Chains A and B, each alone.
Chain A
Amino acid sequence: MSDSTRRQFLRVTAAGSAAVVLSGAPGAAWARKPAPAAAGRTRAYVLVVDGCKPGEITAALTPRLAQLRAEGTTFPTARSLPVMETIPNHVMMMTGARPDRTGVPANKIFDRAEAVQRDLDRPSDLRFITLLEQLNGTGRTTGTVLSKEYLYGIFGERATYRWEPAPIVPVSGHAPDAATMDALIAMVDSADPDFVFANLGDVDRMGHSDLTGTTLEVARTAALASTDLQVGRFVDRLKATGKWDSSVVLVLADHSMDWSIPTNVISVDRILSVRSDLSSQTQIAQNGGADLLYWVGDAAVKDAALAEIRALVLVHPGVLAVNTPTQLRLGPEAGDLVATCRAGWRFSDPYVVSNPIPGNHGHPATEPIPFFVSGGSPRVVRGKVSSEPARTIDVAPTVGALFGIKAPQGGYDGTARMVAFNA
C-alpha cells in the first residue's frame, strides 16, 4: 500500500448483489485468494445470537444451531451477567472483565460529567484491553461484524477489520441478520481474519417489538428460523472455502428475553413522586428489566436518601431486588442503586408509557443463555455437555487460551472453558 496511515475501505459485492463496505486498519491486507491450508492455523468465530433463550434452540426450529450444539461442547447452565443488557455483555465477552474494571455496566447510563442520559456507545467508554487488541498485538488479525449501531460504536476501530452495520432498520437501530451475514461472509472471504466477533440482532429485535410476545411469540419464532438459516449459510461458506476444518465457532447469547404485559410496569419516577425531595434529586437510567438510580442531590444526605429510595422501591410488587453497583460488580458508572424487576415485569421511566416494549431483559429472569463451542477444528470436543457455569465473561479467556494469549494485567474475571477443547 502506498499510504499506510489511512484507513482502508473495501467494497465487495455480497449475495443478492448488495454492496458490503468493510474498513481496515492501516496496513491491513485483503487476501482475496482462497486461504492457504496453513498447518496448525486456528480460526475462531464468536457468534452472538442476541437475546436468544437457551430453550429456543431446537432441532425443529433452529436445526443448524442445534446441530452445531450437538457436535460441540455445550454449557446448559450458562448465564449472562449484570446488567443483562447487550453492550455490557458484549464488552464482558471481549474483555473477560467485570464492568467495575471495564467501565461498561449497562446500555444506558446517566453521565454525571455531561449531565445527560446516554448509551455507552463511544470507543472511549471501554477502558479495558480487549481480546481484539490482544490478538492484534500478537500479529494476528481480527474482525468485528456487529449488527447494532451502539456495538459498532463502542468497539470502534479496535479490530483489524470492521463492518459498519448497514442498512439500518429504523427505530431498532440494527442491521438485519441477512445483511450482517453478508458482511461476515464477505469479511472472511476477503480478509480471512484469525478471529471475528459477530452479533446477529434479529432475534433480540423481534423479541422486543413482538407485540404477540406474551402469547404466541410468532415474529420471534420467525426470526429464530431466519437467523438459523443465516448461521447455516456461514457454516456452509466455511466448508465451501476450506476453512471449516480449522474453525472454532463459539455461539452464545448476550442475555435472554422476558415478556411483560402492559399492566406489569414499574415506574420508579412515579414511586418517588410522593417524595419530590427525592425524585427531583434522582436520575434514572432505564435498562428494560433494570433501572440504574443516581443521586444527584446534596452529598451530605446521600446515604439517608438512598436508604429511603431503596425502601420505597422495594415495596413495589414488581421489584425483585435493589442492589448497590458494588454488589453486582458494576462500578461507579452504574450510579448508586440498581433495581431489578421480577419475571413478567418491566421498568418504564420516567412515565409508565415511556417503555412500551413488551420484551425486556436486564433482570435476573433473563440470565440463562445458550453457550456452546463447536466447529470443524479437531480441537473441539464433540458431543459433550458440561455442568461448568459458563458466563459471557468466559469468552475472552476461552478464545484467548485457544490462541495462547496471556491474561490481561490483573487477570481475567472469567474462566477459560478448556473442557471444550482437546489438549
Chain B
Amino acid sequence: MLSFVLRRLGQSGVLVLIMSILVFVGMYVVSDPVAVLASDDFTEEDRIALASELGVDRPLMVQYFSFLSNMVRGDFGTSFVYNKPVLPLIVERLPATLEVAFLAIGIGLCVGVPLGIYSGLNRKRKSTKTISFLTTVGYSIPNFWQALLLILVFAVWLKVLPASGRGDTTMLFGIELSFFNVDGLRHMLLPAINLAIYKICMQTRLARSGTQEVMFQDYMTFARAKGIPRPRLIRRHLLRNIMIPIVTITGLELGGLIAFSTVTETVFSWPGIGKLLLDSIHHADRPVVVAYLILIVMMFVVINFVVDVLYALLDPRIRYT
C-alpha cells in the first residue's frame, strides 16, 4: 500500500508539472500578455517597459522557473480586475461551488441509483421504457438551456424560487455555507437541480446497465438457486457489485461537475469559482485563469487517488502493492 501511495504521488507530481508547462505555454507564450494589456496609445518604449515589468523579456526557461517557484510558494500573482492576490480570491469562492456540486451528486445518487436498479430488474415494464426515454431527454438538453428553462418556470412564471445569487449564508468553521439556512437553501436549489439532472440520468443508466449485466452473471443465478430471499439478493449480491462502477465513475465525474458549474454559476449568478473563471476569461484576467487551472489539476489528482482507494475497498479482487 505504501509503495502504491508513493508511486501515485510521483505520478501526480509529474502530471501537475506537465500541466504547469502546458498552462505556462498557453498563457504566457502563445498569447502575448503585452499585447493584451497595452492600450492603443502605447509607444514602443511603453511596451518594453511593460514587458520588463511583467518579466516577459527574460528567457523562456527563466520565466518558467520563476512561474514554477512562485506557484510552489502559493503565489499566483495578483488579479488585474480585483487587484487582490489570486489564491485567496479562489479559495474563498470554493465552498460555494463545492456545496452545490455535492448537493447535486447527492440528488443524483439518491434518485438515479434506485431508478436504475428498478429499470434493470423490470426490463419489460412500461415505466422502465418511460424512465429510459426521460434519461435520454435529460441527456439531450444542454446544461445552459436547462438552466434557462428552470429560471423561466420556477422564478419567472411560478415565482417560487429565486433565480440568482447566493442568498443568506451561515458561518460554519469559518466557511460561509448556504446549506444550513432556509434562504440559502432556496437559492441553492435551482443551480443544484440544474447540475443534478445530468447526474440523475447518468446514475440511472449506470445502475441500469450494471444491474442488467450483473443479473446475467453465473453467481446471480447460483444465488437464486441457493434460495436466499430476494431482498437480500438485491441488497448484497447486486448492490455490492454495481456500486463498484457507480462509485468510480461518480468520483471521476466530479471533475465534469466542476467544469459544468462554470455554466450553471454564470446563468444563476452563483458566486463560485466557475463564474469567477468565466468572468476572468472575459476580462483577460490571466493570473486568475492560471491559478484556477493549476488548482483544478491538483484537485483532479486528489480525486483520482481517492477513487482508486475506494475502488480497492469495494472490490476485494484489487489489492494495491
- A joins B in a complex: no
